[in-house]
Structure 1
Amino acid sequence: MSFPHFALTRRRLIAAAACGALVLAAAPAMADKAGSGSVSVMELMAPNALPDIVEGDANAPVTIVEYASMTCSHCAAFHHEVYPTLKKNYIDTGKVKFILREFPLDPLATAAFMLAREMGDKRDAVVDLLFAQQKNWAFVDKPLDGLATVLKQAGLGQEKFETVLKDQDLYKKVTDVRARAADKFGVNSTPTFFVNGEKYTGEITVADIDKIIAAKTPAK
């Protein structure tokens, strides 16, 4: 199975993922550092090549934007270990609105994001599924076949799968989101978070989230 833009081999993908992991591993744990600078919230929230999918109350006092890659193991760990608590304690209670944006580290991550976007407002649910089953498609001998198998669980058939991966306009939009993040906001690794415009990079824990949100929440 092959498509334009996605000439993928297991060796190439592992090398690309390893490069991303090394960048992240070199960063100190977020609990041990403050935010690494800030950006204009107005510019951060300006329209992108792809519309944001917002989780939570649009008027929440704290906005978290995550730039993630579907093949990043650190991103998968965040969505498995931290995001459920973030959603329960902050997103569902109206304290935080959360936005995940595409920052693919390699062609397979780009493909995965394209396919997730095909699911419309179910994009985030598909992203969660792909992170949960990352080992079953991202690091196997035939990654596109593995990706197709996982996405069948979300109702995406083979014909639509192949059509989406040939969509050059969607491909460009995903890569444009990444390019803007790099050029405008200095994103160069995943995960990268912006909390009310303040930038945090690398792994993040539930305890980190609690401290950061508390600092950003207006006193009553």
Structure 2
Amino acid sequence: MSATTRYAAMSRRAAMTAAALTAMVALAGCNSGGAGAPADGDMAMGAPEGAKVTVVEYASVTCHVCAAWQEENWEGFKARYVDTNKVRYVFREIPTSPREVAVAGFLIARCAGEDKYFDVVHELLANQEAMRLDPRATLFRVGNGVGLSNERIQQCITDEAALEAAEARAQTSLAAGVDGTPTFFVNGTKVITPGSQSGTSLADLSKAIDAELAKS
């Protein structure tokens, strides 16, 4: 089977998952109660589970607003809160269009291992234009960059159990009342910047975090 055919097979499988995720949006409701509790498949940095403040970001590697937020705010947020262990930062996956590419990107990140998961996610966010022009080449290049062979990447993005797990994680995220990406919750409360076209501002996010940190 050629590389092109194998990638097409992956896309068909991922597209089936994407169709299921789209259907879930209509069924998800608006309950935000699950946003503060641990969920299967959570990927986290900073303070350990049970920290005084937990920040949950719902995002996608194919979301251009997510990419802009990372470029403008991630280093400042990480230095102030994550590197200092003031908060537990949790990233949750919601694949956005083109969903088959987002699903593949997340599966590669997970195959890279917990220690390299965020390296893959951030690299994909930083290379969205390249991923848009040539998704296969970009996904494989990023995967190669964290030590995955082409054969291993192919296994990762076509694994049926992994695709089902990705679908389950997305269902959990949607059930938390997330209706756009990126969306941030601080200790279970959604933080919104009214009128913003680029997601939650770092100023508003910091205000919410600092208020929680200040509580006795």
TM-score scaled to structure 1, two decimals?
0.77
Matches within 5 A, 1:1-220: 1=4, 2-7=7-12, 39-40=32-33, 44-48=36-40, 50=41, 52-58=42-48, 59-105=50-96, 106-121=99-114, 122-137=116-131, 139-140=132-133, 142-182=134-174, 184-200=175-191, 203-219=199-215
Rounded to whole Å, the distance in 2 between the matches of 1:7 and 1:180 is 23
SS at match of 2:140: helix
CA distance in 2, matches of 1:94, 1:46: 18
Aligned in 2, Cα 1:150/1:119: closer, same or farther, shift over 3 Å? Answer: closer
Deviation of the 1:6 alpha carbon: 0.9
Runs of at least 5 residues in structure 1 that lack an aligned partner in the other structure: 17-36
- Note the alpha carbon deviations across 1:183-205, whole angstroms, 9 max, x for none: x2111221111110001356122
* Greater helix proportion: 2
Q: Distance in 2 between matches of 1:44 and 1:61?
A: 12
Q: Please tell me whether the aligned partners of residues 57 and 92 of structure 2 are also in contact (alpha carbons under 8 angstroms).
A: yes
Structure 1 range deviating more: 122-131 or 142-151: 142-151
Q: Is the 8 A contact 1:56 1:98 kept in 2?
A: yes
Partner of 2:27: none
Residue 97 of structure 1, CA deviation: 0.8
Q: Which residue type is aligned with residue 62 of structure 1?
A: V
CA deviation vs aligned residue, 1:147-185 (integer Å, no higher than 9, x gap): 212322222221111111110111111111111221x21
Structure 2 CA distance for partners of 1:107 and 1:175, relative to 1, 3 Å: same
**Letter aligned with residue 109 of structure 1:** A
SS state at 2:214 partner? coil
C-alpha RMSD of the superposition: 2.5
Q: Deviations over 1:102-125 (max 9, x none)?
A: 110111101100010001111112
Query: What is the alpha-carbon distance in structure 1 between the residues aligned to residue 31 and residue 160 of structure 2?
Result: 33
Cα contact 1:61–1:218 (8 A) shared by 2? no
How many residue pairs get matched? 188
Structure 2: runs of 5 or more not aligned: 19-29, 193-197
Query: For residues 85 and 31 of structure 2, what CA distance do their matches in structure 1 show?
Result: 23
For each residue in 1:54-100, what CA deviation from the matched residue of structure 2 results, as whole angstroms up to 9, or x when unmatched?
Answer: 21111432101111111001111122221111111111112111010
Runs of 4+ in 1 over 3 A off after TM superposition: 37-41
